[in-house]
Amino acid sequence: MLFRLLLLFIFVPLVELYLLLQLADATSAGATFLIVIATGVLGSYLAKREGLMAWQKFHAALGEGRVPSREIQDGLMIVFAAALLLTPGLITDAVGFLLLVPVGRDLLRKTVLARYFSGFKNVQIRGSFFEGQSRQTFDDSNTIDGKVTRR
């Protein structure tokens, strides 16, 4: 895994530099510079907007009494997308814009995350933090009662 990461950190900047030089050769250095600046500005605006929407969905999920796992995933992907968009390059910008679009996040969630977390099963956890404020019905058929003691 470390070797793959090292190759990624060496290979991606070289490919990005090559593509930027090819773009500058095809258009001009000024146009390439403006494209890099424009994608950074547009990306930061879109990341802020999508981040605020993810934050609102996160709070709505908490208000509904459910675990905001999808919202947390979206927030992390948006932060990663913002970092990619602020990095100069064409490939990183394309991946960053893909992660800012909800369809792109769903695609990543279905392909990559499903591959890595395919062995996990759904688990329901029931606690008594908010006694008397049960908002959803709970299926007790698979529940194991337990007690926690501190030593």
Mean pLDDT of the chain: 83
- Determine the residue type at 98: L
Residue 130 has a pLDDT of 53
> In 65-137, where does DSSP find H-type helix?
69-86, 90-100, 102-108, 114-116
138 has a pLDDT exceeding 70:
no
Average pLDDT over residues 105-130: 70
More confident position, 46 or 123? 46
Residue closest to 97 by CA, chosen among 37, 47, 33: 47
77 has a pLDDT exceeding 60:
yes
C-beta separation of 91 from 12 below 8 A: yes
